[in-house]
Each structure stands twice: as C-alpha cells, then as structure tokens.
C-alpha cells in the first residue's frame, strides 16, 4: 500500500482516498484491482476546481468516459431571502452571488426593479455612466482572477501574482468609491448609493495608464508560450452548436467565432454610446477563451476612458432619481465614528422637520411599493448573460427573484468539453469556463 492512497472495502467496491502525491503510485495501486472502471471524485475541496465544485469522473486509464458535476455546496438561499426584505435591501443579497463581479449582479437587479417601477428613463445619466465605469472596472478585476487562477491551476504561478497585483489596484478604486472592496451594494434601484469622490476620476485615469502597461507582463508570459499552448490549445473543445443548445454565453460562446455580446447586440445602460470591439476567436478551445479575456481587458479600458470623459462633463449632476418615494433621503458621509448618514441630514430630521423624520423612517423600514408584474433584464457579465427575473405583487418586497446566472448554465457544458479527453485537461476546461460557485449555487 502506498503512503499516498489508503483504501477500504465497501459494498460499492474498493474506495481509495487520495490526498496528494504521485499519480503513478495511485494508478499502480488501482492497476492491481480487478475492476477496469475507476470513478474519481474530485473536490468539492480541491485546489483546482475553482471553488467548491465537485467533479465525478469515470475513467478508463487517463481518459474520461463520463463526467458529472456536483453543485450546491454554496447554496445560500439568496433568492428566497430577498422575498423577505425590501426591494432596496435586495441589492445587499444579490451582490453576494457572483462575488467576483458584484457590480453586475447589482446592475441587473436594479435594472429589473427600475423596469418594474417604470423609471428606467428617469435614472440620471451620471448614475448610468458611473454604473458603466464600475462594471468595466469590475470586468477587469474579474477577468484578472479568471486568468490568474486559471494559470495557477495549470501550474503557472507568476501570472497569478501579476493578475492579483492588478486586481488589487481595481479593488482600491472600489474601496475609494463605495467604501468596500467587494459586495458593495453600491448600485441601488434608481441610481447609485453616492457620488464619486472628487479625486476618483484622476485616480482612475492613472490606474488605466498603469494597467495598460502592466497587462503586458501577463501577455509576455502566456501569449505564445509553448507550454501554455500545449496545455490549452484544442483542449475543452465546444463548438457553436454545442454552446447554443446548452445556453452557453460569454467568452466561451465568443471563442466559437460568434460575436454575441449583449453590450453590442441589446445595449443597456447606454453602451451604444461607447466605442469598443467585441472580441472573438474561432478556435472553440481553452486558448481561444484565454485570448478573448486578455483582449477584453483593453476594450474595458477603452470604455472606462470614455466613461471618465463623460463624467467630467456631468460633474455635479444627480446620481439618484429625483422621485423622493424611491431615493433614500440621506447621503452617506464619513463622521468621527465611521461612515454614516451625513450630519446635515441628521440635523434636519432630528431638529427641524418632523415630516422628514417620518419619511426617512418609513422609506427605510417599509420600502417603496413596486407595481405588480414581471420582467427579465439581462446584462453581459464577465461570464456571459446574467439575467434577473423579478416578479412583483405590488408590495414593498419582491414576490420572486430569480437569477439566470452564466456560471450555472456554462458549467453544465463541462461534460461536453471533457468527456473523451484526458484527466489533466479537466482542470484547463473548468478554468476556461471560469465558474464562480456563488453564482452557480446562489
């Protein structure tokens, strides 16, 4: 018995537990077993499964004959929970779904609430531009994790250092703007929680300049790197027909040559006013998806620059709908004891106006009423189509909130990508789908 694999007899056959070591030792052990069919359970706690994803692989030698995913380990009941909070509080829940791209979750949810309210046209332009700016920054930080962890899972450590260095810079901007590095609940129904700080645009412009330079580090390391190409080229193949029938969207779909990007095809948040290109490759493989993410970084930088230009022209404009029945009354301000309601506002409600106090109390505890109906609002998240299906019964709480998350649909294609390939390629294929388990399980 090797030191790496322990085995025990069960009614299902002999079960080996492997927790590291040399695969050769394991196969030698298993080779002595009578059965040809080997089922390998990978995860849910496994460093290369991109979170708590469990993969069940049926092997013949090193070739996968069948692959199944086990999900649900990160199910937190976000959809159910939102039914018991106000529409505004819902943002705080949905931002935690896809924790690598919280601003997309918030935007798709808020676009849905606004559509139900019928205030889509009333959302101030400055708020919309800030949303675009924040989303594109978020796309960069999300792609950085996809690239960094993807490379790490295939054994390349340096790209992750570079990727996380860049991501930190973006998170610093998020912290400066919203006070939080992730799960910001910054985008609210009707606009955004607060305006950008005065030096934000300068800082973001500096960041764009640095990022454009720094992205070259990873490009030099990976693009054209022969080891990287051997691990990713023609691996995890999924063609257009497969993507369409499985409902796969995002970089995986664009790697089949299909230029489908909701920012272009069904623009929202004013994306039709920005100049950027939809990146495609036609290789249908992991390398193609990697190249798409690499090049989308530059496109996001272009959008950020244009958003900064727009914001400079819109300086001082409102960032929340004018309707006082929707917008929360207080602006946040940094006080001596931390972030809270601005002192001016507290003076007004506690000292001058009883009606303001009542209004503040009612709108925060009770929320606003949303006319009955249902909507579906999709946005292009870094992983593909993220859609919010919101149902209202006319009350102050959502009747039903469902998210069609790209990770959930895309992860389903793992079997199609991996069956018939080698076990080592599973890691590359899963990394190229870039599933976020919070997004899959919600």
Partner 1 sequence: MFGVSGTGDTSGYGGLVRANYNPISAERPYGSYFDDVADALERAYPQFSDAIERVVVDRGELTLHIKREKLVEVAKVLRDDAALRFEVCLGVDGVHYPEDSGRELHAVYPLLSMTHNRRIRLEVSVPDSDPHIPTLVEVWAGNNWHERETYDMFGIIFDGHPALTRILMPDDWPGHPQRKDYPLGGIPVEYIGATVPAPDERRGYR
**Which spans of this chain sit near partner 1 (rule: CB under 8 A)?**
71-72, 75, 77, 79-81, 83-85, 115-116, 118, 244-248, 258, 260, 265-266, 362, 366-369, 372-376, 378, 385, 387, 389, 391, 393-397, 399-400, 402, 404, 408-409, 412, 441-442
What is residue 168's three-state secondary structure?
helix
Minimum CB separation of residue 283 from partner 1 in Å reads 20
Nearer to partner 1, 80 or 209 (CB): 80
Token pair 């819109």 in the structure block, residue: 314
Reading phi first (left if > 0) and then psi (alpha if -120 to 50, else beta), residue 155 is in left
Minimum CB separation of residue 64 from partner 1 in Å reads 19
Q: Which two tokens stand for residue 154?
A: 């295939």
Q: Is 377 exposed, middle or buried (0-12, 13-18, 19+ CB in 10 A)?
A: buried
Minimum CB separation of residue 76 from partner 1 in Å reads 10
Reading phi first (left if > 0) and then psi (alpha if -120 to 50, else beta), residue 284 is in left
Cα gap 391→65, rounded to integer Å: 42
Question: 140-161 burial, b for 16+ CB within 10 Å, e for fewer?
Answer: bbbbbbbbbbbbbbbebeebbe
Cβ–Cβ < 8 Å for 275, 406: no
Minimum CB separation of residue 41 from partner 1 in Å reads 15
Closest Cα to residue 428, out of 53, 154, 110? 154
Nearer to partner 1, 7 or 266 (CB): 266
Minimum CB separation of residue 376 from partner 1 in Å reads 5
Minimum CB separation of residue 400 from partner 1 in Å reads 5
DSSP 368-394: ----SEEEEEEEEETTEEEEEEEEE-S
Cβ–Cβ < 8 Å for 240, 347: no
Minimum CB separation of residue 176 from partner 1 in Å reads 32
Minimum CB separation of residue 130 from partner 1 in Å reads 24
Minimum CB separation of residue 127 from partner 1 in Å reads 20
Cis, bond preceding 44 (omega within 30 deg of 0): yes
Minimum CB separation of residue 85 from partner 1 in Å reads 7
Could you tell me which residues are beta bridge partners of residue 192? 187
What is residue 189's three-state secondary structure?
coil
Nearer to partner 1, 18 or 255 (CB): 255
Cα gap 382→104, rounded to integer Å: 9
Cα gap 179→200, rounded to integer Å: 13
Minimum CB separation of residue 151 from partner 1 in Å reads 28
Cβ–Cβ < 8 Å for 236, 428: yes
Nearer to partner 1, 183 or 413 (CB): 413
Closest Cα to residue 406, out of 186, 97, 73, 147? 97
Q: How many residues does the chain have?
A: 442
Cα gap 371→391, rounded to integer Å: 10
Nearer to partner 1, 41 or 225 (CB): 41
What would you report as the CA-atom Rg of the chain, rounded to the nearest whole angstrom? 24
Closest Cα to residue 381, out of 166, 100, 91, 53? 100
Nearer to partner 1, 339 or 358 (CB): 358
């Amino acid at each position: 018995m090797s030191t790496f694999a322990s085995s025990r007899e069960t009614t299902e056959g002999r079960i080996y537990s492997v927790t590291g070591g040399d695969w050769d030792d394991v196969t030698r052990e298993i080779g002595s077993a009578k059965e040809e069919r080997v089922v390998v359970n990978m995860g849910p706690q496994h460093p290369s499964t991109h979170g708590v994803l469990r993969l069940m692989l049926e092997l013949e030698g090193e070739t996968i004959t069948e692959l199944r995913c086990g999900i649900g380990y990160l199910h937190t009941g976000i959809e159910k929970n939102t039914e018991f909070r106000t529409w505004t509080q819902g943002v705080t829940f949905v931002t935690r779904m896809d924790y690598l791209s919280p601003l997309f979750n918030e935007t798709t949810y808020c676009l849905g609430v606004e559509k139900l309210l019928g205030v889509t046209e009333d959302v101030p332009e400055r708020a919309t531009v800030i949303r675009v700016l924040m989303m594109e920054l978020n796309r960069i930080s999300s792609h950085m994790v996809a690239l960094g962890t993807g490379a790490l899972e295939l054994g390349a450590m340096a790209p992750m250092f570079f990727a996380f260095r860049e991501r930190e810079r973006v998170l610093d901007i998020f912290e400066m703007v919203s006070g939080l590095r992730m799960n910001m609940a910054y985008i609210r129904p009707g606009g955004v929680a607060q305006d950008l700080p005065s030096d934000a645009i300068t800082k973001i412009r500096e960041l764009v300049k640095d990022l454009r330079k720094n992205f070259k580090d990873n490009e030099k390391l990976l693009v054209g790197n022969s080891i990287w190409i051997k691990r990713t080229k023609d691996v995890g193949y999924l063609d257009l027909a497969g993507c369409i029938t499985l409902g796969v969207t995002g970089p995986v779909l664009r790697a089949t040559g299909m230029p489908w990007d909701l920012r272009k095809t069904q623009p929202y948040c004013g994306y039709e006013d920005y100049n950027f290109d939809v990146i495609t490759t036609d290789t249908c493989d992991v390398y193609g998806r990697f190249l798409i993410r690499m090049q989308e970084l530059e496109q996001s930088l272009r959008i950020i620059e244009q958003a900064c230009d727009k914001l400079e022209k819109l300086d001082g404009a409102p960032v929340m709908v004018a309707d006082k029945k929707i917008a929360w009354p207080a602006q946040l301000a940094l006080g001596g004891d931390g972030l809270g309601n601005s002192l001016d506002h507290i003076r007004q409600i506690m000292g001058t106006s009883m009606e303001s106090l009542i209004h503040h109390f009612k709108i925060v505890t009770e929320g606003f009423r949303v006319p009955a109906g249902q909507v579906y609002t999709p946005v292009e998240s870094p992983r593909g189509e993220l859609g919010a299906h919101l149902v209202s019964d006319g009350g102050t709480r959502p009747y039903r909130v469902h998210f069609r998350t790209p990770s959930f649909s895309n992860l389903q294609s793992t079997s199609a990508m991996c069956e018939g390939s080698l076990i080592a390629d599973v890691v590359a294929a899963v990394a190229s789908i870039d599933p976020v388990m919070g997004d899959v399980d919600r």
